Amino acid sequence: MEAIVLNAANSLTNRIHSRAYRLIKPRDVVETVIEHEVHDWEVVIEPSLGSVCHADLRYYTGQRRVEALEKKLPMALIHEGIGRIVQSQDANLKPGQRVVIVPNIQGYLLQGTAAEYCCPACRGEGMNYCHHGRFLGSGMDGVAQNRLVVPASCAIPVPDGVPDEIAVLAELCSVSYQALSHVEDQLKSARVAVFGDGPVGYLAAAMLHYVYGVNQDRLLVFGAIPEKLAQFDFATRALVQEYDFSSEVTYDIALECTGGRFSESAINQAIDILKPGGHLILMGVTEERVPANTRDILEKGLTLRGSSRSSISDFYPVLDAMKNPDCQQTLRKLLPSERKRITSALDFAEAMEFAAEHRSWQKVLLDFEWKL
């Protein structure tokens, strides 16, 4: 159902209804109908494929702080997704076109204005940290709905030759690209260490290799599980429990991609092997405070940078790299043998339960089938 109204600025606006699978409390998902306004700078997308992130699972299982859950629920989850354009006034986005969904939406895009009218972050180089921005599946309804409304610039066409199951990994890859963009000039010659043999570490290492050209002789990945570590065949590998962190081998850049209870050891091991003046990029998420060896941070003059989100511009080089068959082959190692077919709130809840119980190396993909 669709209604047409005029907003305060006299621009044409549609109101549409969307069927959403909303989390109303931990482990309780219901199907409900929500209403969206569609402004002339926005597009309507029918999501077709989603990917479950650990952030989704923290909401679903109630591992976020109570005050955060009370503030943000009810909410449709999922921020990693692709879909097809249903409605658009943008000449570059036609109905039926495949697009990747950008979940980090700056405030000026939501209002249909320009960056200079938004906030200091958007007026400078910190657009990733907009003061007025919103994030799909974290404070606003996410991809788990049949009519998703986003600014047109947050719907990025999927290049021909990039299949859906590869394109749906673009958001997570873009987060790695964003984190690494701050040390791009150094990556031409730097020695880089990645801590973490899970999906975040794998995709960070893949972006280092396929986008930034860091080859095996300059890329070391630390992991704890031999079977997982073996998948990083484009990098040098080391088991963290066997490595001598007191050796004199040093690195220019280190990425912490472990998160959770392993963050403390990974951060401090990274500090041990970084050169004076080195960079430590923090990408792993934990709900707890993490002790760090500040004495060596100070003595070595290390720079620490946190990064967990990306912006629109980060998606384009990632999608370009995904056209490379070798890159696709690398990324396919994260894909499951089967997708979860989602036709109801019950299907969605069962898929989330599966993801929570089987936190394996491979992603859980949600194949949305929206019945008329």
What string of pLDDT tens digits covers the 372 residues of the chain?
455 444 444 455 689 999 999 999 999 999 999 999 999 999 999 999 999 998 899 999 998 888 888 889 999 999 999 999 999 999 999 999 999 999 999 888 889 888 888 888 888 766 678 888 899 999 899 999 999 999 999 999 999 999 999 999 999 999 999 999 999 999 999 999 999 999 899 999 999 999 999 999 999 999 999 999 999 999 999 999 999 998 888 999 999 999 888 899 999 999 999 999 999 999 988 878 899 999 999 999 999 999 888 999 999 999 999 999 999 999 999 999 999 999 999 999 999 999 999 877 889 999 999 986
What is the topology classification, in CATH, of domain 183-306?
Answer: Rossmann fold (3.40.50)
E strands present in the chain: 2-6, 12-25, 28-38, 42-51, 75-76, 80-87, 98-101, 104-105, 134-136, 139-140, 148-151, 155-157, 192-195, 219-223, 236-239, 251-256, 274-282, 303-306, 340-342, 365-368
CB proximity list for 346: less than 8 A, separation 6 or greater:
29
Number of residues assigned to the chain:
372
Q: What predicted TM-score, i.e. pTM, was given to this entire model?
A: 0.89
Cis peptide before 151 (omega within 30 of 0): no
pLDDT at position 246, please?
87
pLDDT at position 116, please?
86
pLDDT at position 13, please?
67
Q: Which strands, in side-by-side order, build the sheet including 251-256?
A: 236-239, 219-223, 192-195, 251-256, 274-282, 303-306
Structural domain spans, the chain: 2-168+335-368, 183-306
Distances (CA, A) of 306 to 40, 269, 283, 310: 35, 17, 6, 12
pLDDT at position 11, please?
58
Task: Round to whole Å and give the CA distance between 108 and 126.
Answer: 14
E strands present in 259-364: 274-282, 303-306, 340-342
What is the topology classification, in CATH, of domain 2-168+335-368?
Answer: Quinone Oxidoreductase; Chain A, domain 1 (3.90.180)
Tokens standing for residue 27: 């482990």
Task: Round to whole Å and give the CA distance between 187 and 241.
Answer: 27
Are 2-168+335-368 and 183-306 the same fold in CATH?
A: no
Could you tell me which residues are beta bridge partners of residue 365? 51
